[in-house]
Amino acid sequence: RHQPRAKVLAALEGRTLTCIDDFKPQALKDTVWAWATTRHQPSARALAALERRMLACVDDFNPQALANTSWAVAMLMNNIDEGVKITISQNVLDRLLHQLEHAAQSSTLNDGYSLQQIFHAHHLLGDRFKPSVALLDQ
Protein backbone atom coordinates (compact mmCIF):
# COMPACT_ATOMS: atom_id res chain seq x y z
CA ARG A 1 0.00 0.00 0.00
CA HIS A 2 1.28 3.43 -0.95
CA GLN A 3 1.95 5.74 1.97
CA PRO A 4 2.11 9.44 1.04
CA ARG A 5 4.94 11.43 2.56
CA ALA A 6 4.20 13.53 5.62
CA LYS A 7 5.11 16.67 3.67
CA VAL A 8 2.47 15.92 1.03
CA LEU A 9 -0.18 15.14 3.64
CA ALA A 10 0.63 18.36 5.50
CA ALA A 11 0.27 20.37 2.28
CA LEU A 12 -3.08 18.72 1.52
CA GLU A 13 -4.25 19.39 5.06
CA GLY A 14 -3.28 23.05 4.71
CA ARG A 15 -5.23 23.31 1.46
CA THR A 16 -8.19 21.59 3.11
CA LEU A 17 -8.22 24.26 5.83
CA THR A 18 -8.38 27.05 3.26
CA CYS A 19 -11.49 25.71 1.55
CA ILE A 20 -13.26 23.49 4.10
CA ASP A 21 -16.26 25.82 4.26
CA ASP A 22 -16.96 24.99 0.61
CA PHE A 23 -16.90 21.22 1.20
CA LYS A 24 -20.05 19.31 0.39
CA PRO A 25 -20.82 15.92 2.00
CA GLN A 26 -18.92 14.01 -0.71
CA ALA A 27 -15.73 16.00 -0.07
CA LEU A 28 -16.08 15.60 3.70
CA LYS A 29 -16.57 11.85 3.36
CA ASP A 30 -13.62 11.59 0.98
CA THR A 31 -11.39 13.58 3.33
CA VAL A 32 -12.16 11.41 6.36
CA TRP A 33 -11.81 8.27 4.23
CA ALA A 34 -8.42 9.43 2.90
CA TRP A 35 -7.17 10.23 6.40
CA ALA A 36 -8.34 6.86 7.69
CA THR A 37 -6.94 4.76 4.85
CA THR A 38 -3.55 6.52 4.86
CA ARG A 39 -3.44 6.44 8.67
CA HIS A 40 -2.95 10.20 8.65
CA GLN A 41 -3.18 11.94 11.99
CA PRO A 42 -4.79 15.28 11.20
CA SER A 43 -3.88 18.30 13.25
CA ALA A 44 -6.29 19.39 15.96
CA ARG A 45 -7.07 22.46 13.84
CA ALA A 46 -7.92 20.39 10.75
CA LEU A 47 -10.00 17.93 12.76
CA ALA A 48 -11.94 20.75 14.45
CA ALA A 49 -12.62 22.39 11.07
CA LEU A 50 -13.81 19.10 9.61
CA GLU A 51 -16.10 18.44 12.58
CA ARG A 52 -17.55 21.96 12.36
CA ARG A 53 -18.26 21.55 8.64
CA MET A 54 -19.73 18.06 9.11
CA LEU A 55 -22.14 19.38 11.73
CA ALA A 56 -23.12 22.24 9.43
CA CYS A 57 -24.13 19.98 6.56
CA VAL A 58 -24.84 16.52 8.05
CA ASP A 59 -28.49 16.89 7.01
CA ASP A 60 -27.35 17.00 3.37
CA PHE A 61 -25.55 13.63 3.44
CA ASN A 62 -27.22 10.88 1.42
CA PRO A 63 -27.51 7.46 3.11
CA GLN A 64 -24.46 6.01 1.33
CA ALA A 65 -22.31 9.01 2.33
CA LEU A 66 -23.54 8.68 5.93
CA ALA A 67 -22.57 5.02 6.05
CA ASN A 68 -19.20 5.67 4.36
CA THR A 69 -18.45 8.57 6.68
CA SER A 70 -19.39 6.58 9.79
CA TRP A 71 -17.05 3.80 8.71
CA ALA A 72 -14.23 6.24 7.90
CA VAL A 73 -14.63 8.07 11.24
CA ALA A 74 -14.51 4.74 13.09
CA MET A 75 -11.38 3.71 11.17
CA LEU A 76 -9.74 7.09 11.76
CA MET A 77 -10.39 6.86 15.49
CA ASN A 78 -8.98 3.33 15.62
CA ASN A 79 -5.83 3.93 13.58
CA ILE A 80 -3.68 4.21 16.66
CA ASP A 81 -0.09 4.82 15.70
CA GLU A 82 2.71 5.60 18.12
CA GLY A 83 0.28 6.03 21.01
CA VAL A 84 -1.62 8.96 19.45
CA LYS A 85 -5.38 8.55 19.59
CA ILE A 86 -7.69 10.61 17.40
CA THR A 87 -10.98 11.60 18.97
CA ILE A 88 -14.03 12.77 17.08
CA SER A 89 -16.63 14.86 18.90
CA GLN A 90 -19.45 12.82 20.37
CA ASN A 91 -21.81 15.40 18.87
CA VAL A 92 -20.57 14.48 15.37
CA LEU A 93 -21.03 10.76 16.07
CA ASP A 94 -24.52 11.37 17.47
CA ARG A 95 -25.59 13.46 14.46
CA LEU A 96 -24.28 10.86 11.99
CA LEU A 97 -26.11 8.12 13.86
CA HIS A 98 -29.31 10.20 14.03
CA GLN A 99 -29.23 10.72 10.26
CA LEU A 100 -28.56 7.01 9.69
CA GLU A 101 -31.52 6.13 11.89
CA HIS A 102 -33.70 8.56 9.92
CA ALA A 103 -32.54 7.03 6.61
CA ALA A 104 -33.33 3.54 7.91
CA GLN A 105 -36.82 4.56 9.05
CA SER A 106 -37.58 6.16 5.69
CA SER A 107 -36.27 3.06 3.87
CA THR A 108 -33.61 5.01 1.99
CA LEU A 109 -30.87 2.95 3.62
CA ASN A 110 -31.40 -0.46 2.15
CA ASP A 111 -28.23 -1.75 0.55
CA GLY A 112 -26.09 -4.36 2.25
CA TYR A 113 -22.86 -2.41 1.77
CA SER A 114 -24.11 0.57 3.82
CA LEU A 115 -25.41 -1.70 6.56
CA GLN A 116 -22.11 -3.57 6.67
CA GLN A 117 -20.27 -0.27 7.16
CA ILE A 118 -22.65 0.70 9.98
CA PHE A 119 -22.06 -2.63 11.74
CA HIS A 120 -18.32 -2.18 11.35
CA ALA A 121 -18.47 1.38 12.76
CA HIS A 122 -20.55 0.09 15.70
CA HIS A 123 -18.02 -2.68 16.30
CA LEU A 124 -15.06 -0.26 16.27
CA LEU A 125 -16.67 2.52 18.30
CA GLY A 126 -18.64 0.44 20.78
CA ASP A 127 -20.64 2.53 23.23
CA ARG A 128 -19.84 5.75 21.40
CA PHE A 129 -21.89 4.64 18.37
CA LYS A 130 -24.95 2.57 19.23
CA PRO A 131 -27.41 2.02 16.40
CA SER A 132 -30.98 1.20 17.44
CA VAL A 133 -32.28 -2.34 17.38
CA ALA A 134 -34.44 -1.37 14.40
CA LEU A 135 -31.39 -0.30 12.42
CA LEU A 136 -29.38 -3.36 13.42
CA ASP A 137 -32.28 -5.65 12.50
CA GLN A 138 -32.26 -4.52 8.86
Q: What is the pLDDT of residues 19-58, one digit of tens each?
A: 999 999 999 999 999 888 888 888 999 999 999 999 999 9
The secondary structure of the chain, three-state, reads CCCCCHHHHHHHHHHHHHHHHHCCHHHHHHHHHHHHHCCCCCCHHHHHHHHHHHHHHHHHCCHHHHHHHHHHHHHHHHCCECCECCCCCHHHHHHHHHHHHHHHHCCCCCCHHHHHHHHHHHHHHHHHCCCCHHHHCC
What's the mean per-residue pLDDT of the chain? 81
Tell if the pTM clears 0.75, that is, is over it. yes
Gap between the Cα atoms of 31 and 28, Å rounded: 5
Supply the Cα-derived Rg of the chain in whole angstroms: 15
Instruction: Report whether pLDDT(109) > 70.
Output: no
